[in-house]
Amino acid sequence: MKKIIVGITGASGAMLGERFVKFLLGAGHEVHAVLSASGQTVFKEELGIKDFKKHFGASKNLHVASAEDFAAKISSGSSKIDAMVIIPCSLSTVGAIANGITMNLIHRAASVSIKEKRPLILVPRESPLSPIHLKNLLYLSEIGVHIVPATTAFYHKPKTIEDMVDFTVGRVLDLLKIEHQLFKRWRENSSAE
């Protein structure tokens, strides 16, 4: 069982965060979720979900901290955490993390992940990307942060939005070394090399 911090920010793609948290809880992992103020707005806009915790029911593995609460457990490097994922990740949050600015608990927990050298995975969504976005993403990648853009592949022939979401969520799970069958891999079950 892994202990994962899940940051959800105000980028489009609330489905990605919802699916990721659902998968982790379903597989018995412990989730420490934090939604930014804009993350809550986008969750309501795109999924009609007003109460994040209620949406996932009474799971003992789901802990939700307020984005304003710098005294939360996960604000400290002494917390036993395996990895952090920000999904979806706004380019504003990318900018804050790349520049060491901690205006909310998501930024703080990401900063802690970097200083403690724990896996940090960002799933940014924006289009087109400006030179500022690209520079921040390049810098984060250079210091070891995983950047998994919220884009699908097409070789697994997605038919629904869920198929596309599952591809991105699955690639994040791959980096966390969590087994899943969310998409068919390239040449899976094929005799071709």
Ligand X SMILES: Cc1cc2nc3c(=O)[nH]c(=O)nc-3n(C[C@H](O)[C@H](O)[C@H](O)COP(=O)(O)O)c2cc1C
* 170 burial type by CB count under 10 A (0-12 exposed, 13-18 middle, 19+ buried): buried
User: Which residue in the set 4, 5, 6, 10 belongs to the binding site for ligand X (CB under 6 A)?
Assistant: 10
**Distance, CA of 76 to chain centre:** 19
CB of 133 to ligand X, least distance (A): 8
CB of 4 to ligand X, least distance (A): 19
SS3 content of the chain, % helix, strand, coil (to 5): 40, 15, 45
Number of Cα atoms under 13 Å in the Cβ half of residue 41? 8
Q: Does 39 bind ligand X (CB under 6 A)?
A: yes
Of 81 and 104, which has the nearer Cβ to ligand X?
A: 104
Q: Does 38 bind ligand X (CB under 6 A)?
A: yes
The 8-class DSSP code of residue 156 comes to T
Of 32 and 40, which has the nearer Cβ to ligand X?
A: 40
Contacting residues toward ligand X, per CB under 6 A: 9-12, 36, 38-39, 41-42, 45, 90-93, 125-126
